[in-house]
Amino acid sequence: MVYFVATPIGNLEEITFRAVETLKSVSAVFCEDTRHSKILLDRYGIDKPTYSYHKFNETKQLNFALSFCERGEDIAVISDAGMPAVSDPGNVLVNALKQKNYPYTVISGPSAFVNAFVLSGYKPPFTFYGFLPPKNSDRDSLLDASVGVAIFYVSVHDIAENMAYLNGRLGNRECCLVKELSKTHERVRFCHLADDVDEDKGEFVLVVNKGEVQNPLCELTVEEHLDYYLKDGMTKSEAVKAVAKDRNVSKNEIYKQTIR
């Protein structure tokens, strides 16, 4: 059996009894960072062989992990914090286990984006995107300008750039920026995507609220929205301008979507 075990996202007390017992029972623990995980394992007296398993080596380590299954041994997979395979390593192994019909399960526990969503007070439904791709072309394909509540993981080095991109893509929406989740200095900050955010360290969850729909036409797709104005006699340029104004986004953003 392979156990994908959720670990605390900050406060080390936030681990379940089942997670501790599982980690004590397996033959080995595959960790995103063995040095980081050692702190947690030592805290709960878990003395098991640990192996590095992160995004840069998860394919290379795949056969090694599967070799335990072939011998009938149990292993656990953990990330530095939160749930494995959610913006962390694990997905490659899950799919290999499915293909080979090896048993696996999840040991429930914390996930940062869930905590952040609750703290935001925004209403579901929401979409979790994880970290934005580096290229704007990939981001544009991922996001729809009409998206509702959207949740992102953001590194301190990328906050300003990510928020500026999202402002251009989604409009200047209200957002909730959360850091140090479950720790003593947990902080929740409400602002807007166009605001300057001065941070020098930490990992963040950015929860972007849905845009306020002032016009029922915004419930349409961008293509349907444009067709409405075109059929009303507007030129394409006029229609793009009207749609952009309705949706509180740039004209370039509407042009991008119509090109796609």
pLDDT tens digit sequence for 157-192 = 999 999 999 998 888 899 999 999 998 889 999 999
Residue whose structure tokens are 């017992």? 21
Locus of tokens 């003395």: 47
Give tens-digit pLDDT for 78-121: 999 999 999 889 999 999 999 999 999 999 999 999 999 999 99
Q: Are residues 107 and 19 in contact, defined by beta-carbon separation less than 8 angstroms?
A: yes
Would you tell me the crossing angle of helices 251-259 and 236-247 to the nearest 10 degrees? 120
Asked if residue 216 has pLDDT above 80, the reply is: no
Residues 6+ apart with CB under 8 A from 124: 117, 149
Specify burial of residue 2 (Cβ count, 10 A radius: 0-12, 13-18, 19+).
buried
> Is the confidence at residue 232, as pLDDT, over 60?
yes
Q: 154 CB contacts (<8 Å, ≥6 apart)?
A: 131, 132, 162, 203, 204, 205, 206
- Averaged pLDDT of the chain: 91
Nearest to 4 by CA among 116, 92, 117: 92
pLDDT-derived band at 260, boundaries 50, 70, 90? low
- CB within 8 Å of 114: residues ≥ 6 apart: none
| Residue 35 pLDDT greater than 80, yes or no | yes
State residue 222's pLDDT score: 86
Confidence of residue 203 (pLDDT cuts 50, 70, 90): confident
Alpha helices in 12-61 (DSSP H): 17-25, 34-43
pLDDT, tens digit, for every residue of 122-137? Answer: 999 999 999 999 998 8
So what's the pLDDT on residue 145? 64
SS3 223: helix
For residues 254 and 237, what is the distance between their CA atoms, to the nearest angstrom?
A: 11
CB proximity list for 17: less than 8 A, separation 6 or greater: none
Cα–Cα distance for residue pair 239/245, rounded to 1 Å? 10
Strands 187-192 and 174-179: antiparallel
Please report where in the chains the tokens 């075990």 appear, as a residue: 5
Measure the CA–CA gap between 204 and 101, rounded to whole angstroms: 36
Residue 213 has pLDDT above 60, yes or no: no
Q: What is the pLDDT of residues 45-72, one digit of tens each?
A: 999 999 999 989 999 999 999 999 999 9
User: How many CA atoms lie less than 13 Å away from 123 in the CB half-sphere?
Assistant: 3
How far, in Å, CA of 192 to CA of 166, rounded?
10
Share of the chain above pLDDT 70, in %: 97
Q: How far apart are CA 30 and CA 65, in angstroms?
A: 8
Please provide residue 189's backbone torsions phi and psi, each rounded to the nearest 5 degrees. Answer: -125, 125
Does this model's pTM top 0.85?
Answer: no
The phi, psi pair for 95, rounded to 5°, reads: -70, -35
pLDDT band at 237 (very low <50, low <70, confident <90, very high): confident
